A and B are shown apart, each in its own frame.
Chain A
Amino acid sequence: MSQEILQTLTWLIPAGPLLAFFLIALFTHRNRTLSWMIAWTGVIAALILGWTVAGYTSTQFFEEPEKVLEHPVQIASSIDWIPVGPCIVEDAGNCESWIDAGVAVDGLTSVTLIMVTFTVFMIFVYSVGYHNYGKPRGTHPGVPNHGKEDPIFSRFFAYMSLFAFGMLLLVTSDNLLFLFIGWEIMGFCSYSLIGFWYAREYHLGPDDIPHIPPYLAAKKAFMVTRIADVVMLLGIVFFYRTFGTLNFSEALSAHSLEAGVAQIGVAAIGIMALLLFTGTVGKSAQWPLHVWLPDAMEGPTPVSAVIHAAAMVSAGIYMLLRIFPLIAVAIEGNPGVGWIIGGIGAFTALMAATIAIAQNDVKGVLAYSTISQLGFMVATIGIGGYIAAAFHLITHGFFKALLFLASGSVIHGMEHGAMHVHDHHTDPQDMRYMGGLRKKMPITFWTFLIGGLALAGFPFVTAGFWSKDEMFAEAFTLMQEGNLTALFVLVMLVLAAFLTAFYTGRQITMTFLGKPRSQLAEHAHESNKFMTIPLVLLAVFAVSVGWSGITDNFMGTSGIFRNYFHGLVGSTIEETMLELKGAGLVAHAIETLPWRWEPLIMSLIVALGGLFLGWWIYGRKPLPVGFADPIKRPLGPLYNFFQNKWYWDELYHTVFYRPTIWTSEQLVPVFIDKGIIDGILHLIARVTYAIGHYFKRFEEIVISGGVDWLKDKTLIFANWTRQLQTGNAQEYVAVSSLIAVVFAFSIVLLINYGWLEKIQLWFQQIF
């Protein structure tokens, strides 16, 4: 295919969903069938285009790897967007410097496109069923209409299309600014979709799983990520003003990075990397900004799947991978940066995993699991594991989307049961009331099982195993070189991986095995075809996608396996990293690690051990109705600590939220504005007024020479104070306008007739 056609195709990838958004929002929002069909068309177009482009680039790589290594960006096109400098005067419209908008496709873009377009399409399919398309229409907008078609069905697809646009823009963008634009558009869609049921309120009993209303959850998500975004904005402008361009391949070439280091020093590069990394901390829900993601589960489940598992939260990791040469230089020059990135990732991975083991909300477990898995990726990037992190990003995207959709199917089934028995109090998301769903919902069970095993890293078959194994291998190899960060990361990640397998075992057991523990579960029902077909398709990928990244010398073999993923994604920055290594700015280029058995053993032990322990504790014998969590006693106070999410929300509420409210409602508008600033102004007004009165009184005294001066003055003073309080504004205006005009004219005269000079002379004579 010619380069021009490919460029056009790439530009068109985000265009379909965007067009769908506008069509639905402006024209078809009343016609629900047409709306979802338009949304599907947009995303199918993106899928076809995305896979075509990705197919082209990977074929190119396998056919002519040397050429691709030299020019990793295989499709690139850009247009002028903002003029930022002098235009050549004679030739209007031909400005010299511009901030560009552009698209670029390389190996990393390709694999991400494959994952994103496919999962997003699956979720679009699923959503039609999830919102009960074709059932009688619900009558309450803004709350879940169980068993009825959502009354704002079209709005959902409009937002989802806009979201897909944002993600695709982010992935295809060739520069940091448009990445950020996609990033923020997704943030807005996330806000809107978490708050999709904007009118919902909860009336919770003491034993229920705590929920906050969706509109609060939406606000929380937007604000917490915005903290990170404003910091990231600083990072972007720092990047731009240092390298003189926002384009990735221009700014992050070895040459440009060397110039950057020479210009501002490697410590400043470290600061730049951390500013940008803060964006990831917010978007990918890393500690300390992870608190928004669990509450984001208030959105409809397809939203949780696409935004809070497969696409948006992955954007943070994707951004780090995009700027990886910068991160690598920053880490090499400042070990502290590596500790911060690796440390935050590793800590988040373990902390979220500990919280996940004590959650009863079927989506809550997955939410913390997502935070934890993203922590794996961040930690791996922090020690320089570019390909391992990218690989886990892709596999996680597939299996986590699957898990969320399957859990949505479970909830849907439970809601069906709730309607059947007219129980509107029991929380259909509470795993304590589930059990035995294996028989009721077989497709959901088997697909959930596959997703769960992938998450736990079940050996040799599932995708999660291969990516997790690679991350361990990365950390292990570096640790052997004496890298302390890698040691820390390895220990934390192994512990976290064990807990991951454990809570996955626990979740599968509590949900699907044993006997139904409520009427809801008793009458649950398999979901419709719109929902089950995507589950099956995603399950296929949750297994097979891992095979693309099996280490070349796995188990000491040679020639059997080929690590396609490593080659393709590695090609993106391989040359750059080699050059940087040559310049002494990084210690490691993109290397193929020697296969070792220690990480494999670790993977096997934690995955199988955790899964078995989960089953052994929860599944040996069926759990009774109203059971107490068996791990509650052995864990003691830790259990409450975990279940209450380490009390981060409470801490932030006291330390940040309340002071902010006080500052905004009291300190700034009342104390500073009204008290100090207006106070000073009122004082000036009073003094002026008093002087005016004094002159008036003086005149009266001279003329009348009144004897009752003291008495009058007291009265007038009282009167004056009263007047000032109520303020006859008309009189004020008249008086002050008059004074102003007289004052102005006297000043003019003062200058024009040289009076100022006379006054000055007079002053000089005195002093």
Chain B
Amino acid sequence: MDLLQEHILTITIFFPLLAAFVLMLLPGESKTAIRRLALLLSLVPLILVLVMWLNYDRAAADMQFQDFASWFPAIGSNYHVGVDGISLPLFLLTTILTPLSILASFKIEERVKLFMMLFLIMETAMLGLFASLDLLIFFIFWEIGLVPMYFIIRLWGGADRNYASFKFFVYTMAGSLGLLLSIQIIGVVTGTFNIPELMDVWVNLPNDILLPVIGTVSVGWVKGIAFIAFFIAFAIKIPIWPFHTWLPDAHTQAPTAGSMILAGVLLKLGAYGFIRLVIPLFPEQAYTTAFILAWLGMLSIVMGGYAAFGQWDFKRLVAYSSVNHMGFVVLGIAVMAYAYGQNFVGSVTEDAILATNGAVFQMVNHGLSAAGMFFLVGVIYERTHTRDLKKYGGIWSVLPIYGMILIFTSMASLGLPGLNGFVSEFMVTAGTWNIFTVQLALSMLGLLMTGAYILKGIGATLHGPTKPEWLGLPKMTLREHAVIWHLMALMLSLGVWPQWILVFINDTVSRIFIG
């Protein structure tokens, strides 16, 4: 038990990897056993996260459940992990969505073992990233997360999966290169990769001195270049407009569970990178470019909203909705970038706390509602074998319960008060108002379009007279209910009583700005 207590974080992170190895030992033909075992094993990290949740000390200012091991002393990189109020909710999100995705893909018949293994490996990568306190470790998890998703799209995807998976891979790799380069520079210059240490050493390195290693290049110059590299890498992942065009293709081609994880967790890696690395490591650069980030956030919201409304492929519509929703995260991050480390007093600090709380909370909320939406699109696709909204119509009369569930989830995505999305959008809006008024006002156009595309999805699927070809569609199975009801319960509980998760976020965010 001591081992568990002392290393609970490490065990949580690597348990899925271990589970993947266990699955590897099973014979590939026993599909049912593989599915059930994968589901069962994926529940273990969830339980461990709940244990951490209950033992989390809100009064402590440091990272908690820290674990440290010497890894690569020659270059100053160590295995160092820990969680705080920002990463803990994302841990919960990841460990909830992974079992649900596994449950959602019980219908997969081809290469089941590989599929489940990839999901578990990906879970390790995501959890590791959210806990990393070392830049190199962060990067390694970042890259590991990319590979399983590539194969999931490539091997189990739709008709156009080659183009989609390739685009996804190259796009993200393009960002990763700059990221790796910058991480190397930081490591070489400061001699450490430890993030908490870098927040002191690297940030306080005077801009005008020449770098000892590289010679004639000033620190300010390197910081600028590294900032741009970090920025682009994470911007692609979120994705921020105009780096988003990989997303609709990847989502449209990915299998249902792949989309659930991609939208639910992988997009958050980018936003997390901004909050954990970009802004704390480059406060000056972030401050000067915050307004650009706000403009891009606004464009994500508006362009994403319009593009989603223009789609007739249901899944593509939901995919574009991610751009729209993540735009609010970006707006919140822009406010954080503006206020971080500037020692503002009074109102700006309050704005920043509101907006940053909202951004982190919006990450969780979008994770839940987007996963739910992709799942429901999968449910209807499995029955009708089409995602063309023009071909649907009147399905509500045939599948009344599915209809209610779709409306519920869509409304969470729309940001209906009482469900989760509204709370975070309100917080971001409130925090942004004083600082980026124009950008915020323009993004309301995107919020309007959110309504338009959500109603388009509901209307085209459920409303109108029932088309004869849809009579007798099979009802939702118990397994499908099991997936969606968990998500719905979370969406409702976070909308009605958001503080059960927000107090954790608020603690950490308040400390960031007030100390």
Q: Which residues of A contact B (CB under 8 A)?
A: 25, 80-87, 89-93, 95, 97, 141-142, 152, 177, 180-181, 184-185, 188, 191-192, 195, 198-199, 201, 213, 215, 219, 222-223, 226-227, 230-231, 233-234, 237-238, 240-241, 660-661, 663-669, 672-674, 677-678, 681, 685, 727, 729-730, 732-733, 736-737, 740, 743-744, 747-748, 751-752, 754, 756-757, 760-761, 764
Contacts and interface: CB of A to CB of B under 8 A. Distances in A.
Nearest to A233: B429
Contact of A188 (B57, B181, B411): B411
Interface residues of B, number: 84
Given A199-B466, A736-B170, A747-B184, A87 B58 contact: yes
B463 A81 contact: no
A525 B176 CA distance: 76
A664 B320 CA distance: 11
A85 to B, nearest CB: 6
Given A82-B427, A177-B426, A201-B464, A673 B503 contact: no
A198 B462 CA distance: 8
11 contacts: A181-B418, A199-B463, A199-B466, A234-B440, A237-B429, A668-B310, A681-B245, A732-B166, A733-B169, A747-B177, A756-B214
A231 B429 CA distance: 12
B342 to A, nearest CB: 17
A201 B465 CA distance: 7
A223 B180 contact: no
Interface string B386-401: 0000000010110010
A80 B499 contact: yes
A299 to B, nearest CB: 14
Contacts of B176: 740
Given A664-B449, A678-B245, A740-B177, 17 more contacts: A82-B498, A85-B350, A87-B506, A89-B511, A90-B59, A93-B58, A152-B400, A219-B459, A234-B429, A241-B347, A669-B311, A673-B245, A674-B245, A729-B166, A747-B181, A751-B181, A760-B217
B180 A89 contact: no
B173 interface: yes
A180 B415 CA distance: 12
Contacts of B245: 673-674, 677-678, 681
Nearest to A230: B444
Contacts of A663: 306, 310
A740 B418 CA distance: 47
Contact of B503 (A95, A230, A685, A756): A95
A86 B514 contact: yes
A677 B245 CA distance: 7
Contacts of B169: 733, 736-737
Contacts of B84: none
B121 interface: no
A668 B299 CA distance: 11
A230 B447 contact: yes
B397 A85 contact: no
Contacts of A237: 426, 429-430, 433
Contact of A185 (B162, B347, B416): B416
A736 B244 CA distance: 20
Interface in B184-199: 184-185, 188
A668 B244 CA distance: 12
A198 B463 contact: yes
A86 B216 contact: no
Nearest to B466: A199
A92 B184 CA distance: 39
Interface in B442-460: 444-445, 447-449, 451-452, 455, 459
Interface string B162-173: 110110011001
B473 interface: no
A195 B463 contact: yes
A754 B213 contact: yes
Interface stretch (B38-46, B259-267, B285-293, B351-359): B351-359
A184 B416 contact: yes
A227 B448 contact: yes
Contact of B499 (A81, A142, A756, A757): A81
Contact of B307 (A234, A669, A740, A754): A669
Contacts of A192: 407
A751 B394 CA distance: 63
A82 B464 contact: no
A195 to B, nearest CB: 7
A677 B351 contact: no
B283 to A, nearest CB: 20
A141 B397 contact: yes
B55 to A, nearest CB: 13
B125 to A, nearest CB: 18
A503 to B, nearest CB: 33
Nearest to B143: A744
Given A223-B452, A234-B444, A727-B163, A668 B303 contact: yes
A667 B302 CA distance: 13
Contact of B353 (A84, A152, A737, A761): A84
B411 A84 contact: no
B215 A757 contact: yes
Contacts of A760: 214-217
Nearest to B308: A664
B480 interface: no
Contact of B180 (A142, A748, A752): A748
B351 A672 contact: no
A84 B462 contact: no
Interface in B378-433: 394, 396-397, 400, 404, 407, 411, 416-418, 422-423, 426-427, 429-430, 433
Contacts of B206: none
B213, B306, B404 interface centre (most CB from chain A within 10 Å)? B306
A142 B393 CA distance: 13
Contacts of B303: 668, 672
A83, A226, A674 interface centre (most CB from chain B within 10 Å)? A83
Contacts of B244: 673
A82 B170 CA distance: 41
Contact of B448 (A81, A230, A673): A230
A744 B351 CA distance: 40
Interface in B277-298: none
B502 interface: yes
Contacts of B506: 83-85, 87, 95
B510 interface: yes
Contacts of B433: 234, 237-238, 241
Contact of A664 (B162, B306, B394, B459): B306
Contacts of B163: 727, 729
B28 interface: no
A474 B514 CA distance: 52
Nearest to A232: B444
